[in-house]
Structures are given as C-alpha cells and as structure tokens.
Amino acid sequence: MSELLKKIESEVLGLSHQERAFLADRLLSSLGEDVLTEFDAAWVTEAQRRYGEYKAGRRSGIDAQEVFAEADRIVE
C-alpha cells in the first residue's frame, strides 16, 4: 500500500459513519455499474417498485426530516 493511500485511509477512518458511508458510495459509483452486486441490484429494483407505487398514488411519501431522524437513530 502506498504512503498516500495509507494517509487517506487514516484520515477517512476518522470521519463520522455518515461521512464514510457517503464517501464509500461515491467511490463505488465512480467504478461504474458493473460493481453492483446482486444485493444492490435487488435494492434498485425495490426502489423502482416503490417509486412506481408512489407515482400511482398507492404509496404515500415520508417527510425527509422523519427519514433523516430515523437514519440518525439507526446509525448511532
């Protein structure tokens, strides 16, 4: 492992859970679609299904503040 990579790793591990998750998502996204696992693909399919239900009026939306509060509760 290069010195630069060691330094980056050390700094990244000092970030909050939320910041590391955001960075991990950005890094994986930068690799292209072929890194999607079967699990990721299943979540994309589920998200598309739920969005379709929302657009058709069969599912109600959830306030963003509620979503973020729940995410914070789970992470902590």
| Cβ neighbour number for residue 40 with a 10 Å cutoff | 12
pTM, whole model, 2 decimals?
0.47
The two three-digit tokens of residue 30, written as one number: 């930068």
Span 11-60, pLDDT tens digits: 999 999 889 988 988 888 888 766 677 888 899 899 999 999 999 999 99
Alpha-carbon span 11 to 20, nearest angstrom: 10
